[in-house]
């Protein structure tokens, strides 16, 4: 597994090396934006309360938020409720290309750290706001990933009819942060042409609507509402989870007429191949009611491993049913450098190392790696204050008065 620290030369070669980001973020959406920019080379400085980002303390499904979305960042702890803390934040922002935030509407304005205030001090500043909703009738509401999944059609599409179900990951938070990063990248490109920065806004609700837009357009094209995924009419006849020998499960798919011929030959189903009711994919879709139970019965005597081996041999789509924790040992991820080592900073396993998942892309054949572990609270406060010109006695005074930590 790659080590946690890339070389200085490797860091300089990344596309956003030399870009400084100051982020006022917590939870997932805002930190995802910063992590993407950081992984791509930006210097990202996380401004935390002196008591620490509450995300560090989450349990259960939130326990992985901080270590996942805050690598490659520096941490400075400031009390923004004090004049001294806000003045220090303004000095830090004066050195930044990008400011990123994901607090409730009005929070940054009360602190004098909103785009309207900061852009008057630096017209080149790019300001990324991550919100629940873009400006409009809903923007006063408090949004969470689950909230927008329910109101934006995704939970309806994921669950069975009458049983809306959220997706099994923070899809809107993560994608919303991605769109915030894309907006920041676009604003950087625009600044090269105009010399001026701009405000970028990304929102959970609008992100969710983008995710279900294919189903909206399905209705526009067909005039028929999209059924929830568990009860949908699939575009392909064999595209399902099969329970096989010893109760194991495996996902199997046959999505073309050519694949149907290969599948029938591989499993001795010549009679089905010759059946005039099953000649085309659309024929097989219409025959699903009797075809799929027949296939389930025929395949049930095989183990999931045996089926997977046959499907892989014949280049047919298949997938084992995998739990997230099993992916730490996935041979493909390990062989292709998809995992890297970090040191955990919070929780019961603080100080221990773990693998983490890198960005799902390569640049010049390499995955952008981990240069900095997720930071300890205020780990870089002294370093950054010194850079801003604060003498040692001034730093000690700020720490003694709890303006910094």
Domains of the chain (ranges, CATH numbers): 8-212+360-400 (3.40.50.10540), 234-324 (3.30.1540.10)
Report pLDDT for 69: 98
The model's pLDDT over 325-338, given as tens digits with 9 standing for 90+, comes to 999 999 999 999 99
Contact status, residue 341 vs residue 39, Cβ threshold 8 Å: no
Supply the pLDDT for residue 12: 84
The model's pTM is 0.94
What per-residue confidence (pLDDT) applies to 5?
54
Amino acid 217: pLDDT: 98
Cα gap 206→211, rounded to integer Å: 9
Do residues 241 and 321 make contact, with C-beta atoms less than 8 angstroms apart? yes
> Which of 125, 147, 78, 57 minimizes the C-alpha distance to 398?
78
> Is residue 315 helix, strand or coil?
coil
Cβ neighbour number for residue 190 with a 10 Å cutoff: 14
Q: What is the pLDDT of residue 4?
A: 45
Intervals of the chain under pLDDT 50: 2-4
Angstrom distances, CA of residue 51 to CA of 55, 57, 186, 376, 402: 11, 11, 34, 12, 10
The phi, psi pair for 353, rounded to 5°, reads: -95, 155
Q: What is the pLDDT of residues 245-267, one digit of tens each?
A: 999 999 999 999 999 999 999 99
Query: Residue 132's pLDDT is what?
Result: 97
């Amino acid at each position: 597994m790659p080590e946690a620290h890339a070389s200085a030369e490797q860091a300089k070669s990344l596309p956003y090396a030399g870009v400084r980001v100051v982020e006022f973020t917590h939870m997932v959406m805002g930190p995802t934006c910063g992590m993407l920019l950081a992984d791509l080379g930006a210097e990202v400085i996380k401004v935390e309360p002196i008591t620490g980002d509450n995300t560090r303390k989450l349990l259960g499904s939130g326990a992985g938020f901080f270590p996942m979305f805050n690598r490659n960042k520096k941490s400075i702890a400031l009390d923004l409720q004090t004049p001294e803390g806000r003045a220090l934040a303004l000095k830090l922002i004066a050195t930044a290309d990008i400011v990123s935030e994901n607090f409730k509407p009005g929070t940054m304005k009360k602190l004098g750290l909103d785009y309207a205030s900061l852009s008057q001090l630096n017209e080149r500043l790019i300001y990324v706001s991550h919100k629940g909703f873009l400006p409009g009738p809903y923007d006063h509401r408090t949004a969470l990933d689950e909230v927008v999944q329910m109101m934006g059609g995704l939970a309806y599409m994921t669950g069975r009819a009458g049983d809306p179900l959220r997706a099994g990951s923070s899809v809107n938070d993560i994608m919303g942060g991605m769109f915030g990063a894309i907006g920041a990248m676009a604003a950087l490109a625009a600044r090269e042409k105009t010399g001026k920065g701009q405000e970028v806004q990304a929102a959970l609700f609008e992100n969710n609507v983008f995710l279900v837009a294919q189903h909206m357009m399905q209705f526009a094209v067909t005039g028929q509402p999209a059924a929830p995924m568990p009860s949908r009419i699939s575009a392909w006849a064999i595209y399902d989870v099969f329970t096989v020998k010893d109760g194991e499960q495996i996902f199997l798919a046959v999505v073309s007429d050519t694949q149907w011929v290969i599948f029938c030959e591989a499993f001795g189903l010549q009679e089905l191949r010759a059946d005039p009711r099953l000649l085309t994919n659309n024929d097989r879709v219409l025959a699903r009611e009797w075809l799929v139970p027949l296939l389930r019965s025929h395949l049930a005597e095989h183990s999931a491993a045996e089926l997977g081996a046959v499907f892989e041999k014949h280049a047919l789509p298949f997938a084992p049913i995998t739990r997230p924790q099993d992916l730490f040992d996935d041979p493909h991820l390990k062989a292709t450098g998809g995992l890297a080592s970090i040191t955990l900073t919070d929780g019961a396993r603080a100080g221990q190392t773990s693998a983490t998942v890198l960005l799902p892309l390569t640049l010049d054949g390499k995955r952008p790696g981990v240069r900095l572990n997720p930071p300890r609270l205020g780990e870089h406060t002294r370093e950054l204050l010194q850079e801003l010109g604060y003498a040692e006695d001034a730093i000690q005074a700020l720490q003694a008065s709890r303006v910094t930590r």
